[in-house]
Structure 1
Amino acid sequence: MKDNNFQLPASNFQSKKQLNIYFTAGIPQLEDTTEIIKLIQNSGADMMEIGMPYSDPVADGEIIQKAHELALRNGMTIAKLFSQLKSIKNEIKIPIILMGYINPVLSFGFENFCRECSESGVSGLIIPDLPPIEFEKNYREILAKYNLTFTFLVTPETSDERIKYLDSLSSGFLYAVSSSSTTGNENKSINNEDYLNNLASLNLKNPLFIGFGIKNKKDFDDVTKKANGGIIGTAFVKILLENENWKEKASDFIHSIIN
């Protein structure tokens, strides 16, 4: 079984660029989650984010919102997701990050949630609507107790001072979204060169991952010229939602990015 904690080399842009694949738990069918997890690992991705379905995913674009709605209709819950993860935890060697909104986690009980993460082979969390001050005051020690990393997000509008502050709080990696828009927005440029150059110059303590808007190998190669890795979500979820033979297409998609 993998060690829950993970670290990547923070400023070593000569090393292999890390591919992080996001999908929403409970789609296309409720019991497909474990198959998708194994597919992502076996297709060569370096890590994965699993979205916990929520009824009001305000930071997500249309495709991932549809995925949340479908997953909830399918009956996906946090408890169900933990049960699925436990069933395959000894087979999974790459890091699993759970991503979601704070309200369902608080409803589950934060420490109970972290305990279940630890017992399910989860490496860390991304909760975009958890304020950093609340994180420092109420949650950081609990995460450390269960050996879980926590990742904060920054945008092109985030000041250098705040980027460094969020980097100091983060562990695992720092998530740099390509704009302050929602996920999957086709009207934004993912390769904001000034933004990426500035991030690369800040001597961050965590590895830097770029997300939101990466759709193909060219996008991935472009953003990882100045970052340790890239995160692909909407393009992958779209395959799961729109293709009956999603297993083959999803595997081919991941291979197309890393080969």
Structure 2
Amino acid sequence: MITTENRVTQLFEQHDDSSKIMSLFLTAGYPDLQACVDLILGFDENGVDMVELGMPFSDPLADGPTIQYSSNVAIEQGITMKKILDIVEQVRKQSEIPIILMGYINPVLRYGAEDFCRDAAEAGVDGLIIPDIPIEESGILTEEAQRYQLPIIYLVAPNTSDERMQKIDQQSQGFVYCVSVTGVTGAREGDEVAQSVQRFIDRVKANITNNPKMVGFGIKSHEDAQRIAADMDGFIVGSALIDTIREHYPEEGWKEQVFAFVRSLKYGTE
């Protein structure tokens, strides 16, 4: 399913300014394979604009404890790259929601860069985020990704220089992922953090001018999203989502609890 009109590009081109684009990060295979498919389909029906599907890895250096936990659960249940792509294929039978694969370069290289990009595109993947491969070393993946029309999305963080932000803006496709707090992933709070985030966002606005800007790492409520993403095109929620799944799964009605949380992120408290 290789399309010339990329779903991510279409999302940003067609989205109006009345609301922020909301993307959710979900670890592939968490809390189990079928539940993962069901969640993504439900996200599409509950205001989610885009999904980042995490590729579990046994040594996730940049992930906080919540995402490490979900990765470990998926790995223990036997998640593989093929099963990750199967999840995307299952979703594609019923949904056109943009799906980006996010994870470390090791599993990609183990699978083979060309095979990975080909199979991902055929499954219906719309882009790649590989946080541990800098733009200077991305050539091994960039050529194959371009061949199969898979945008590579790069990250900027508070410790990224202005010059490097501009370089990443030139290289990134689809959007730029703005990591609002340096360090491992997870929900953050406090006035000092808020001031630091605002300084970072001001720099992002000045230096990222070619691509849409999505901000993530630390958003856990509608209020967080309004405050942190006010000057961005949208926001990304990961750890808070997985915490919510972990709290309710597998009790009766757990999915509706998760979808209620998702709706509250975009539309406010219900």
Distance 1:218 1:205 in 2: 27
Distance 1:81 1:109 in 2: 15
CA drift of 1:163 comes to: 0.5
Partner of residue 111 from structure 2, selected from 108, 112, 137: 108
> What corresponds to 1:216 in structure 2?
221
Partner of residue 233 from structure 1, selected from 238, 251, 259: 238
CA drift of 1:15 comes to: 4.8
Distance 1:216 1:5 in 2: 26
Contact 2:157–2:180 under 8 Å retained in 1: yes
Say yes or no: does 1:153 pair with 2:117: no
| Moved segments of 4+, more than 4 Å | none
> Which one scores higher on RCO, CA 8 angstroms, separation ≥ 6?
1
> What corresponds to 1:17 in structure 2?
20
Distance 1:139 1:236 in 2: 30
> What corresponds to 1:194 in structure 2?
199
> What corresponds to 2:255 in structure 1?
247
**Corresponding residue pairs, total:** 257
CA drift of 1:56 comes to: 0.7
Percent same amino acid among aligned pairs?
A: 38
Distance 1:190 1:67 in 2: 27
TM-score normalised per structure 1? 0.93
Say yes or no: does 1:122 pair with 2:130: no
Distance 1:190 1:71 in 2: 33
Partner of residue 134 from structure 1, selected from 132, 137, 144: 137
1:2-59 residue CA offsets vs partner (Å, 9 max, x unmatched): 844532559x994531000011011112322211110111111110101011101110
In structure 1, list runs of 5 or more residues that go unmatched: none
TM-score normalised per structure 2? 0.89
SS of the aligned residue for 1:156 comes to: coil
> What corresponds to 1:75 in structure 2?
78
CA drift of 1:138 comes to: 2.3
Give the letter for the 1:204 counterpart. T
> What corresponds to 2:63 in structure 1?
60
In structure 2, list runs of 5 or more residues that go unmatched: none
C-alpha RMSD of matched pairs (Å): 2.0
> What corresponds to 2:266 in structure 1?
258
Report the more deviating stretch, 189-198 or 74-83.
189-198
SS of the aligned residue for 2:257 comes to: helix
Equivalent residue runs for 1:80-91 within 5 Å: 80-91=83-94
